[in-house]
């Protein structure tokens, strides 16, 4: 089963609208025409419309970094899935470890957010991954089982192929210390196994991205692993040439 690789750049809380526009112009200039790799940018909310307009027709997706599960309501500081769509987004990151840690994002909340994203027509990217403490304690697989199975618990089997899972070991995020290809593949293989339990052969269609200090220098080796179907990139996605180099590694 061949899965089209996805390389998504998570900008976190970086870039004003002007800086986002400059990035989008640079990305457009460097984009090839092959389209064998899907590219997505996850700007801050304030820049989604700017980036979506600047990249219209390029095939590059624009994803939110979070959204609320409710359609609307008294949730100060939140935005809905429909608002993301209205701003031009085509997907959304859900359950990034920084949100799990800083904003108390729970598996129960994510179990509502993933189907809400699908209902709005967005591609949900469910982020999972263990801490260093959990890895050292030998509980990595149990953590991944819980996060994957609870996060996807309310998604109808027929919709699971539209979901993307991102494996992001917390100890590798923003640390410069990427997982080795073997460690990453082991975790991805395990996640695929859990997805098979959940939905049988449909699991072969679900893309599992690796995230954690991916750079142009280490991307090719990570992305050549059989169950690594792309990358979720933080720091190295802030420069268009660096993101394009990672996308080129995913294509080869």
Binding residues vs ligand PEP (CB under 6 A): 10, 12, 168, 173-174, 211-214, 232-236
Instruction: Give SS3 for 217.
Output: helix
Instruction: Give SS3 for 104.
Output: coil
Catalytic residue at 168? yes
Instruction: Write down the least CB distance from residue 178 to ligand PEP, Å.
Output: 8
From 98, 105, 130, 168, active-site residue? 168
Q: Which is nearer to ligand PEP, 118 or 214 (CB)?
A: 214
**DSSP per residue, 72-123:** S-S-TT--BHHHHHHHT--EEEES-HHHHHHS---HHHHHHHHHHHHHTT-E
Q: Which is nearer to ligand PEP, 7 or 54 (CB)?
A: 7
From 38, 68, 96, 188, active-site residue? 96
Q: Which is nearer to ligand PEP, 122 or 171 (CB)?
A: 171
Q: Output the six-digit token pair for 23.
A: 């990035």
Between strands 61-64 and 164-167, the pairing is unpaired
68, 35 contact by CB (below 8 A): no
Catalytic residue at 186? no
Instruction: Write down the least CB distance from residue 157 to ligand PEP, Å.
Output: 28
Q: Which is nearer to ligand PEP, 156 or 176 (CB)?
A: 176
Chain position whose Cβ is nearest to ligand PEP: 234
Distance between CA atoms of 181 and 204, rounded to whole angstroms?
20
Instruction: Write down the least CB distance from residue 42 to ligand PEP, Å.
Output: 9
Catalytic positions: 96, 168
């Amino acid at each position: 089963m061949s899965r089209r690789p996805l390389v998504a750049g998570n900008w976190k809380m970086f870039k004003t609208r002007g800086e986002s526009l400059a990035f989008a112009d640079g990305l457009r200039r460097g984009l090839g025409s092959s389209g064998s790799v899907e590219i997505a940018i996850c700007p801050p909310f304030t820049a989604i419309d700017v980036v979506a307009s600047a990249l219209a027709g390029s095939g590059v997706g624009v994803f939110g970094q979070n959204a609320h599960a409710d359609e609307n309501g008294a949730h100060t500081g939140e935005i809905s899935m429909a608002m993301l769509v209205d701003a031009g987004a085509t997907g959304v990151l859900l359950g990034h470890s920084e949100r799990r840690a800083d904003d108390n994002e729970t598996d129960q909340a994510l179990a509502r957010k993933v189907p809400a994203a699908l209902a709005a027509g967005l591609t949900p990217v469910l982020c999972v991954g263990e801490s260093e403490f959990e890895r050292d304690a030998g509980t990595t697989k149990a953590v991944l089982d819980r996060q994957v199975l609870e996060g996807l618990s309310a998604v109808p089997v027929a919709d699971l192929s539209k979901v993307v899972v991102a494996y992001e070991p917390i100890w590798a995020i923003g640390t410069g210390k990427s997982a080795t290809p073997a460690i990453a593949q082991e975790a991805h293989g395990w996640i695929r196994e859990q997805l098979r339990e959940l939905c049988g052969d449909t699991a072969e269609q679900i893309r599992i991205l690796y995230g954690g200090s991916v750079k142009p220098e280490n991307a090719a080796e990570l992305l050549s692993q059989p169950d690594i179907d792309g990358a979720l990139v933080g720091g190295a996605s802030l420069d268009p040439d660096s993101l394009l180099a990672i996308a080129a590694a995913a294509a080869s």
